[in-house]
Amino acid sequence: MSKDQKKFYRALFALVIPITIQNFISNAVNSADVFMLGYVGQEELAAVSLANQFQFLLWGFFFGINSGVTMLGSQYWGKKDTDSIQAVMGIAIKISIVITLILSFGAVVLPRELMRIYTNDEKLIEIGASYLSIVGISYVLMSFSQVYMSTVRSMERVKISTIISSTALILNVTLNAVFIFGFLGLPRLGVVGVSLATLISRVVETALCVIDAGKARVFKINLRLMFGHHALLFKDFVKYATPALCNDLLWTVAFSTYAIIMGHMNADMVAANAVASTVRELCAIVCFAIAGGASVLLGIKIGEGRMEEAKKYATYSCKTTFIIGIITGLIILAIRPIVFMGFNLSEQAHDYLSIMLFISSYYVLGQAMNTLLIAGIFRAGGDSRFGLICDTITMWAVSVPLGFFSAFVLKLPPMVVYFILCLDEFWKIPVVYKHYKSLKWLKNITRDLE
């Protein structure tokens, strides 16, 4: 192994380890709901899974916004321009507040109407609405906490975001147990308890971000700088973040549409998919952490003007992700028996889950490589437009229409429909690889703060 490789892997894993922990924690805050509700009942599990589609949409929005923060923030960190980083963070927060207020209003005021988008089962609608009307309040809090933690990650301050997320997870899991099972003399609140636990953990998470912002040593928070008028930076943010945001929202809505398809097929499929998706996302956390770490490292190198090093780092990242993706698939296959033991599912849902986990074992490799290239490497170089075009065509012109056609026109068996839906990552691999080899994504997008 060369000196360059050793240097890269030391820097990468210095970021990947805490990002992995943080991603695990962020996923586990939501996954804790799924695992604990597995002990309550299949209907509760399915209803909360569908209700959480709206938070899934929100995560898609934040992923896009935070991609803009990371693209600009990491390159400005390469220049050590913290004033521009603060200005970028302020722009992202302002945009996030507007969007989260709209979604939060819908969740709190119109929960039943939103649930009907995903299912026509009245029991699931009733349970899901009770969850959504409370957890929807937390969406607004995330407009600050998620942007702030993305900003500090772009400045290589990954440890603090990990500590904040860890605290939120521990609190969420503890309160889940207390509220769901009625510990400490409290009544059993079931689904309502899960939503309360999530809301309280988000309040604490946001409070910790505010406290850290007041004590940050890397830069002193300047509200006038953060929320002032920065025409050129705003133009840059819109230019680079908008395609990423649209890309991630279209990708997220497409995945949410898969849930609509499954939700209108049968409740067993919804419950099984809730478990399979949770297992896959948890197992693939290291893959996604590599994409996040590589994005920061490449952005810093590009901001420093070291393009050759950036190209080498991209190559090392691809090789690492491919190997980790294969290992992740094998892990999913290995833990299948353990997963079956953890949930109170019907016999039909159990059979569905067995097939879904097998499909997930190879699907995760395509997902890992595409995430690294589109959301990691390309965006590090300021290229967010390619991913938007690629995902729009493959998901909305191919996968979603095929899903609806196979489910409701051809009326194919549920697992055949699921297999077709899970081809989405593989349609785009050839064009993604070709774009990577072209190096058209490699650009320095920084400028001096006005």
Q: Token pair 């240097």 is at which residue?
A: 7
Please, where are the H alpha helices in 284-346? Answer: 285-303, 307-334, 336-341
Distance from the Cα of residue 389 to its chain's centroid: 20
User: Does residue 353 belong to any structural domain of this protein?
Assistant: yes
Q: Does residue 74 belong to any structural domain of this protein? A: yes
Q: What is the pLDDT of residue 244?
A: 83
Cβ-based neighbours of 430, under 8 Å, separated by 6 or more: none
Amino acid code (one letter) for 436: Y
| 448 inside domain | no
Q: Which positions ≥6 away from 138 have C-beta within 8 Å?
A: 198, 199, 202, 203
CB atoms within 10 A of CB 294: 28
* pLDDT (0 to 100) of residue 42: 73
On the 0-12 / 13-18 / 19+ scale of CB atoms within 10 A, 217 is exposed
Q: What is the DSSP letter of 312?
A: H
User: Which tokens belong to 435?
Assistant: 């774009």
169: containing domain: 3-438
Number of domains making up the chain:
1
Main-chain dihedrals φ then ψ at residue 295, nearest 5 degrees: -60, -45
Please report whether residue 244 resides in a domain: yes
444 occurs within a structural domain: no
Residue of 366, 255, 263 lying closest to 321 (CA atoms):
366
DSSP class of residue 442?
Answer: -
- pLDDT of the chain, 450 residues: tens digit per residue: 777 788 888 888 887 887 787 677 666 666 666 667 766 777 787 788 788 877 777 877 887 888 788 888 888 888 888 888 888 899 999 999 998 999 899 899 998 998 888 888 888 888 888 888 998 899 999 889 989 988 888 887 878 888 888 888 888 888 888 888 778 777 877 788 888 888 999 999 999 998 988 887 777 777 887 888 888 888 888 888 888 888 888 888 888 888 889 888 887 888 888 888 888 988 888 888 898 888 888 888 888 888 888 899 999 999 999 999 999 999 999 998 888 876 677 889 889 999 999 999 999 999 999 999 998 899 888 888 898 999 899 999 999 999 999 999 999 999 999 999 999 999 999 999 999 999 999 888 776 655
Structure tokens at 318: 């691809």
pTM of the model: 0.70
d(CA 135, CA 130): 9
d(CA 416, CA 423): 11
Tell me if 428 is assigned to some domain: yes
The Cα 31–Cα 9 span in angstroms is 30
Q: Is 207 exposed, middle or buried (0-12, 13-18, 19+ CB in 10 A)?
A: middle
**Helical spans, DSSP H, in 182-266:** 190-215, 223-226, 231-263
Q: Is residue 445 part of a domain?
A: no
Instruction: Please give the pLDDT value at position 16.
Output: 83
Rounded Cα gap, residues 49 and 42, in angstroms: 10
Indicate whether 123 belongs to any domain. yes
Q: Which two tokens stand for residue 215?
A: 């004590």
